[in-house]
Structure 1
């Protein structure tokens, strides 16, 4: 499939050709994909149950084999998988798929710079309740049964007119040049669109080569260059953030080791940046024992990482269920694609929003470990919301809301 990729200049046209409700758009540092229509959809497992992860790689392989036998020549599955592995995913074989190289992040992308000034905002939970939730997590940490919990909050924004999802996707693609920009139609309930620009690669596979790039430990960017550099240096030196990052890296490496004949895990994290955040990053590179191992098999083994759930995973998930006041849905799940060879790319579904008509539901989370405070974690989530706020032209107004 990757042999059919076309010149990078075509990638911008794929972005322009995206249509909400009927397209899947994916842009990574290496390639761009526009998939259209639905030829086949992954349904519940063979027992009719909703457990999303049960035999998922095998079910995807069977789906692709079935579509091939039917004469359909598109051998790729695209879509999203939710945070809660017992809930249904949104995975389809499209009617058509067009590939290109990476997007050209320049004036060729039509960017909507209009500022939205008329809108309503609802925080779920309210800031004070989120800070209270952080304190509840800290009490659990003090008991010693759980070492980290990722606590999230959401913001609901309602506009007077229908959201320009295509314009939002363009802006995200332009503003986030090194990550994974996506737009996907979700049809499990009422039709809506998941759109976002994730900085975090869960796992990528090409032949026997695999890459995972966990991020954990974050700091907000500053428009002042001197202050911005100070924050980056402080993050890299922070014992709290380095501990949080090390826990995630160790878990990712442990999940991948059984599949690999070699796995290279750097001893020290590096810094990566987006327009709004600094992150501690570790790129893990490996070679598979068996080329037949699917990228989805690796993704299922990794999900959810401590970067989006906590550690130990099962206990952290229970704490999340007890404290969070909303359903995450596809937030902190994964989004991407897989072909019939088992190759593909899956990003962690963060810096995202669900769009329905005139409304958007935005999400952000923060890893709570020893040394965390409600005030600091609230500030971190506010900074993470900025990816979507900036793309919507809401930056100044929501800066004031988050103060």
Structure 2
């Protein structure tokens, strides 16, 4: 097969196309034979719709975005046509595409004082043993003077996030979900299942010596190891009835993204029941302690009562599934929602009893950098 320039793919990408790139391949979708929205709170209805779609459009795959907030509708697409490119088929000739965006106004919700109060409130709840961990988020909101060209953002995200999961999905008229998630929720290939939770982070300094020190700090941080263990234990407990031969690294490894250093654990196993598909597994795990908290019910209630905005698709799922039930779903983080000229960026941090307010605020600011850099913007 003739090799394809990544720049050519992105040059011909329009805002209403769909793209999902993994470290191994790129999926490009044009048009839609079928597009529907459905409330994720009715998961059985969602499964029925997807099963019916795959029977109707034999051999076709689906791609979509599933929300964290159950009052937001999931977007599911059966593309009119799609193309797979293996990484070996692509020539990475991308360079930073400078942006010239003009901002009419911007606001961060919550502000620093409000967020610090949220963190202290969460710590009080943890000390009162109402939950062990909760993830709290912030948003940056921009109004642009002109419609953005998403292909430029994707160019910059792909250039700087070689190991990330890059995505862009049209979720409505002049509405898009764009991002570069570092976190694979679940990948299913035949009966082999892979999960890669992340929890515990530091901002990169891009100084080799300092970053090596941050690695050691992370690997020996009681707070971060505790936060990470909560997530890994949850995943294994949820998967135990459905997977055999579960394996994972007993101590977290280090994973670098474009701006952050994370604690990472890769979990693998074999499906006991071959009727389970990739989306079944994703729904089994979602929402994880990495983006919600533990116990899930109490943490979720706290988030809904405390955060002064609706998460919508942020910390939901984005991915694809083929007619065999194989596919990949990633957690929707390091992302932005575009609604015409209004842009909302989201990022969050895990709060445990040893969390420090300013550290959590600054960690979220570092996570915003992925999308801010792609857009050529800066946090106020």
Q: TM-score range by the shorter chain?
A: over 0.9
Find out whether 1:149 has 2:134 as its counterpart.
yes
The equivalent position to 1:246 in structure 2, one of 219, 224, 229, is 229
Which residue matches 2:214?
231
Show CA shifts across 1:290-349 (max 9, x none): 233100000000000000000000110000011100010100001000011000001100
Q: 1:308 to 1:104 in 2, by over 3 A?
A: farther
Shift of 1:55: 5.0
The equivalent position to 1:137 in structure 2, one of 114, 122, 131, is 122
Shift of 1:255: 1.5
Shift of 1:381: 0.3
Query: Do 2:6 and 2:92's aligned partners in 1 also have CA atoms closer than 8 Å?
Result: no
Higher mean C-alpha displacement, 276-285 vs 160-169: 160-169
Shift of 1:40: 1.4
Shift of 1:359: 2.6
Q: 1:374 to 1:144 in 2, by over 3 A?
A: same
1:292 and 1:216 map into 2 onto residues whose CA distance is: 30
Which residue matches 1:3?
none
Show CA shifts across 1:71-115 (max 9, x none): xxx510001000024532001111111110128897622531246
Gaps of 5+ in 1: 1-5, 69-73
Find out whether 1:219 has 2:188 as its counterpart.
no
SS where residue 54 of structure 1 aligns?
A: helix
Which residue matches 2:241?
258
Query: Do 1:332 and 1:349's aligned partners in 2 also have CA atoms closer than 8 Å?
Result: yes
2:71 and 2:237 map into 1 onto residues whose CA distance is: 23
Counting only pairs closer than 5 Å after superposition, residues 2-401 of structure 1 correspond to structure 2 as 9=4, 12-21=7-16, 23-44=17-38, 51-68=41-58, 75-85=60-70, 87-102=72-87, 108-109=93-94, 111-114=96-99, 116=101, 120-187=105-172, 191-394=174-377, 397-398=378-379, 401=380
SS where residue 20 of structure 1 aligns?
A: coil
Show CA shifts across 1:153-191 (max 9, x none): 10012233222211011111111000100000012xx53
SS where residue 270 of structure 2 aligns?
A: strand
Query: Do 2:25 and 2:84's aligned partners in 1 also have CA atoms closer than 8 Å?
Result: yes
Higher mean C-alpha displacement, 315-324 vs 49-58: 49-58
Q: 1:112 to 1:309 in 2, by over 3 A?
A: same
Q: How many matched pairs?
A: 380
SS where residue 28 of structure 2 aligns?
A: strand
Query: Do 2:174 and 2:338's aligned partners in 1 also have CA atoms closer than 8 Å?
Result: no
Higher mean C-alpha displacement, 304-313 vs 159-168: 159-168
Shift of 1:235: 1.1
2:142 and 2:206 map into 1 onto residues whose CA distance is: 25
TM-score for the superposition, normalised by structure 2: 0.94
SS where residue 43 of structure 2 aligns?
A: coil
Gaps of 5+ in 2: none
